[in-house]
Amino acid sequence: MICCCIVAVFPRAVAASESVEPGSERKWNGRSVQVSLSRSLFRQSSAIKNGALVKGAIETAAAAWSSVAPVTFRLVESDLDSISDSRSGGDGKSLLTVAATAENIALFPEGANAPPAYTRLFFNRQGSIIEADVVLNPFVQFSTDATAGTFDLQSVITHELGHVLGLGHSPSMSATMYSRVPQNRNDVQQWNPTGKLSPTDISMIRSLYGASNQDIDCCASVVGNIPGKSTVVWAEEASSGRVVAAEVFTKGSYSLGGFMIGRYRVLAQPFETGAAAELAVREFELPTRLKTTALNTASDVHLKYIGLNGELGSVPVHLSRGRTYQIVLGGVGLDPSNTRFGFNTPAISIMPGSVSSIDYGRGLSAIAISINVDSEAPEGDYSIFAESASGARRYLIGAISID
């Protein structure tokens, strides 16, 4: 049994553990999953805003995954309200519910301060998924019309259905499978609540189940060894810098795949803190093995937060082409006098002389930067790095999304 959850970050951050083992490649034996929709989803309750288009949101979330990989969901209604007990071994029925039953609310001991959803997985002796139950937190509210202070139902369910299929969390901030999701806000620049899959989401699901038949140029993969307990490996298009794949690996080896055949830059960095390293820049096909790389864990800079208008957060910023923005970054060691900031893309540039320190207190190092987004910038997700005087870099992966 494995449990997954996502963390709410606005208006306040909530800590949660993630027990899905990164890179475990747990999946269903077949490629069609039946999910029972509890009728609690369609009954009037405080958890779902009156008038919400619940069924449409669920169907759209399921279709998002089916459109990019050979997996399908069979959605049926059910009188069941409670998910299977973790000690029971499951009942063989994958349930999506929001009912405030004793079994369900036990997953949210912090009530409205707990994550907005929770997924419980069951496996057979061979390690294949045999049941996946999803509970929406009945102490918060979901909507389908972007009401401020609510969670977007489609985005949350898209994320949880990714867990149902066997995906863990993505280290790319712009991914639907990222571990944090905000509540809806009036400031739409901070979030795009549609549950749209990013390239990193697509590569993750294709690395498990393969690509659809029409995607004849998919998929490339890269494998290798990196000694260490927990490492992020990601791939960027060599020409544009767009992030196309990113995953966390914990066993000293990695297998990153599911992206289109082409020329990419592959990078890695320790998951928590430490310096990044460039593993290769080359053409990739299926499969490509790289030599063993030992990362330098020492780094005196660390990026953790990003935001707009002086507000730091743990979700990406969404920017438009042909405009100038002031972004803020938070972390450790971000001193403008000896730290360089940049992007692995020509589509985003830093305006000369625009980097300045900001006093946020609480021991947080923060800076403000003015950046310009090229009018011809390709749509996609991009990373930003901080480089110390020693040359050590640390990235925020997929922290900027150009729509």
Q: Are residues 165 and 46 in the same domain?
A: yes
Judgement on whether residues 143 and 278 belong to the same structural domain of the protein: no
In this prediction, residue 205 carries a pLDDT of 97
CATH number at residue 267: 2.60.40
pLDDT of residue 11: 32
Please, are residues 367 and 333 in contact by the beta-carbon 8 Å criterion?
Answer: no
5 versus 377: the higher-pLDDT residue is: 377
> Domain check: are 183 and 277 in the same one?
no
* Predicted local distance difference test score (pLDDT) of residue 21: 56
**325: in domain:** yes
Give the per-residue pLDDT at 24: 60
The answer to whether residue 210 sits within a structural domain is: no
Q: What is the CATH number for 395?
A: 2.60.40.10
The total number of structural domains in the chain stands at 3
Residues 123 and 165 grouped into a single domain:
yes
Confidence class for position 230, pLDDT limits 50, 70, 90 = very high
Q: How far is CA 344 from the centre of its chain?
A: 20
Query: Is the confidence at residue 177, as pLDDT, over 60?
Result: yes
Q: Say if residue 174 is in the same domain as residue 141.
A: yes
- The verdict on 86 and 156 lying in the same domain is yes
The verdict on residue 205 lying in a domain is: no
The tens digit of pLDDT for each residue in 71-111 reads: 999 999 999 999 999 888 899 999 999 999 999 999 999 99
Domain that holds residue 242: 217-289
Express each pLDDT in 17-54 by its tens digit.
Answer: 234 555 567 899 999 999 999 999 999 999 999 999 99
Asked if the structure places residue 206 within a domain, the reply is no
Whether 208 is in a domain gets the answer no
Residues 75 and 179 reside in one and the same domain: yes
Residue 4 main-chain phi, psi, to 5 deg? -130, 150
The token duo for 141 is 């509210």
Within a domain: 211? no
* Percentage with pLDDT > 90 across the chain: 76
Residue 286 pLDDT class (50, 70, 90 cuts): confident
Judgement on whether residues 7 and 139 belong to the same structural domain of the protein: yes
pLDDT of residue 372: 98
Q: What is the mean pLDDT of residues 241-254?
A: 95
Q: Is residue 207 part of a domain?
A: no
Of 240, 267, 289, which residue is a domain's last? Answer: 289
- Pair 189, 226 in one domain: no
The predicted model gives 243-257 an average pLDDT of: 94
Report whether pLDDT(296) > 80. Answer: no
Same domain flag for 94 and 128: yes
pLDDT over 80 at 362, yes or no: no
Q: Indicate if 181 and 221 belong to the same structural domain.
A: no
CATH of the domain at 35: 3.40.390.10
- Write down which residue in 289, 318, 337 finishes a domain: 289
Range among 195-199, 310-314, 350-354 with highest mean pLDDT value? 350-354
pLDDT at 1: 53
Among the three residues 152, 171, 200, which one is the final residue of a domain in this structure?
200
Q: pLDDT by residue (tens digit) across 303-345?
A: 999 999 888 988 899 999 999 999 999 999 999 999 999 999 9
Least confident of 7-16, 236-245, 249-258: 7-16
Q: Is pLDDT at 8 greater than 60 in this prediction? A: no
Alpha carbon distances (Å) from 124 to 73, 127, 131, 207, 285: 20, 5, 9, 21, 33
Residue 16 pLDDT > 50, yes or no? no
Residue 151 lies in a domain: yes
Name the band, by pLDDT with cuts 50, 70 and 90, for residue 277.
very high
d(CA 221, CA 207): 8
pLDDT averaged over every residue in the chain: 89
In this prediction the pTM is 0.92
What is the Cα–Cα distance from 10 to 180, expressed in whole angstroms? 9
Statement to judge: residues 104 and 230 lie in one domain: no
